[in-house]
Structure 1
Amino acid sequence: MGLLDNKTLLVTGVLTPSSIAYGVADLAQREGARVIVTGYGRLSLVRKVVERLPEPVPVIELDVADEEQLSSLSARVGEHADRIDGVLHAIAFAPQSALGGNFLNTEWPDVATALRVSTYSLVSLATALRPLLAENASIVGLDFDASTAYPGYDWMGVAKAGLESAARYLATYLGPQGTRVNLVAAGPIRTVAASNVPSFDDRRQDWSQRAPLGWDISDSTPVARACVALLSDWFPATTGEIVHVDGGAHAVGN
């Protein structure tokens, strides 16, 4: 028996085999889930990457800033499944002008892009999929600790703080239908997305020094396991929570 037997999951954010989302999709399949993947931009690349998964998966195009794609998402996913038991939100983006110490000079259009893609998309994705959400469905989002400021992370840090608040409100409003909404705050993992953050190397060194359990930036397995556990039925009364999977670094002062 797998943790996710007879469940169908929608996984966003798969880009390369190093993506945390890929690790979640891989482990979810090994735990018995049927997986549907969304991709943005280079769909041919996403399709090639998911060929490495244990089982074939459908790939659906999704730009969370495109209202037409969001409005048709339920119907397009419905071509492959009659219900969705779990959703992984692994979507984040900020223009380079919103990162790297340019915080005071970033103009609103670029800030708006960061907030729309990295924060509001949690709500828009959940709303778009609501007709398909099964009873006791679980939505899990990938987070990065927003309790402190990290120089260089800038407006993405603000977007993650907004994501944490949005998750609590989403948990409040979707709770009556049985849907749980939780976040996994991961330590820094070496992914394509992380490589675009100018301060990533500094943050990696900080984590390795502070984390009581240590931290391996090349291993997303601990994060994937936490996501799969939250997507399963093993946390039936947990919602609005942020689970830190970072070796304990968030609990230790600088």
Structure 2
Amino acid sequence: MTATKGNLLEGKNILVTGVTHDTSIAFAVARFAQEQGATVLISNFGRALRITQRIAKRLPELPPVLELDVTDPEHLAALPAMVREHLGEDATLDGVVHSIAYGNPETLLGGNFLEGPWEDVAQAVQVSAFSLKSLAVAARPLMPAGGSIVGLTFDATVAWPAYDWMGVAKAGLESTSRYLARDLGPQGIRVNLVSAGPLRTLAAKAIPGFGDLEDMWKTRAPLGWDNTDTEPTARAVVALLSDLFPATTGEIVHVDGGFHAMGA
């Protein structure tokens, strides 16, 4: 799919978290957001931060790269100051993209549901679900009415082969987004999720048995599904970040070729 330049996000400042590789959904979102006129900041932390700094050079415009660990209270408290350092003292954040998830593949995925230890489950829930609330609270002082928070999920209404405790974490993420929509709505801030079909990202490759999920989409997605094309998902995220959906919050938009609507 060929991207088209536009002005959906003209004049908006957007933070995209979790940009780790140029095959990631987050990278595609950052790229398309820039093409739609946004000023983009991206983030990562730890050893992945250097990778993100290198990957940032592949975007149309080199964005500021913030060090942000969403499980670290000090990092979260420093977010407004980091944004203002790069964008100015009066800067706002019009949009935030949550593209963060982690579950130990050796203990929580690939058929280990009954053996998954609580310590690893707790980490997965904190990083993959609770962090949406943490990030929203950290960004809230910068967000004006009309702001938008968009997260990425993988349909948690059913049990998938191999996905195990990450499916539980995603269910937590989806519930968290609804409660955030309830509590941030009176401030004019929207909270929505995009549920993408299986994409062959770096994170997906770490999931044992991921190929089984990919095979399902080949025969059941009525529109077909290209598991290497992140742009349809990025377009949906950008649309939700824009002013096109001013009265939509607490929603999960499926970008999966229609798979979610099919029976057998």
| Bin for the TM-score computed over the shorter chain | over 0.9
**Contact between 2:161 and 2:213, CA under 8 Å: does it hold in 1?**
no
Q: Which residue of 2 aligns with 1:10?
A: 15
Alignment-derived partner of residue 197 in structure 2? 187
Q: 116, 123, 135: which one pairs with 2:126?
A: 116
**Aligned mates of 1:44, 1:157 — CA distance in 2:** 29
Q: Is residue 2:241 matched to residue 1:231?
A: yes
- Conserved? CA contact 1:78–1:132, under 8 Å: no
Whether 1:209 aligns to 2:219 is yes
Q: Which residue number corresponds to residue 172 of structure 1?
A: 182
Task: Specify the code of the residue in structure 2 equivalent to 1:172.
Answer: R
State the partner residue of 1:45.
51
Query: 2:37 aligned with 1:27, yes or no?
Result: no
Structure 2 residue aligned with 1:70:
76
| Offset at residue 231 of structure 1 (A) | 0.3
Distance in structure 2 (CA, Å) of the matches to 1:179 and 1:243: 17
Instruction: State the 1:66 CA deviation.
Output: 1.3
Q: Which amino acid aligns with 1:45?
A: I
Separation in structure 2 between the aligned mates of residue 127 and residue 236 of structure 1, nearest angstrom: 21
Per the TM alignment, residue 72 of structure 1 is displaced from its structure 2 partner at its CA by 1.4
Give aligned pairs, total.
Answer: 254
Q: Percent identity?
A: 59
Q: State the shift of 1:136 in Å.
A: 0.7
Say which SS state the counterpart of residue 79 (structure 1) adopts. Answer: helix
* Match 1:199 to one of 209, 215, 222: 209
| CA–CA distance in structure 1, aligned partners of residues 120 and 70 of structure 2 | 16
* Matched AA of 1:148: V
Question: Which string of whole-angstrom CA distances, capped at 9 and with x for unpartnered residues, describes residues 195-236 of structure 1?
Answer: 011121110010111100000000011100000000000000
Point out where structure 2 has 5 or more consecutive residues left out of the alignment.
Answer: 1-5
Inter-partner Cα distance in structure 1 for 2:61 and 2:78: 26
Per-residue CA deviations over 1:157-207 (Å, capped at 9, x if unaligned) read 001111111000000000000000000000011101000111211100101
Which runs of at least 4 in structure 1 moved beyond 4 Å after TM superposition?
Answer: none
Is the partner of 1:5 in helix, strand or coil? coil
Q: Does 1:243 align with 2:249?
A: no
**Separation in 2 of the partners of 1:183 and 1:201?**
24
Establish whether residue 95 from structure 1 lines up as the match of residue 104 from structure 2: yes
SS in 1 for 2:145: strand
| CA deviations over 1:227-246 (Å, ceiling 9, x no partner) | 00000000000000000000
Q: CA deviation at 1:47?
A: 0.9
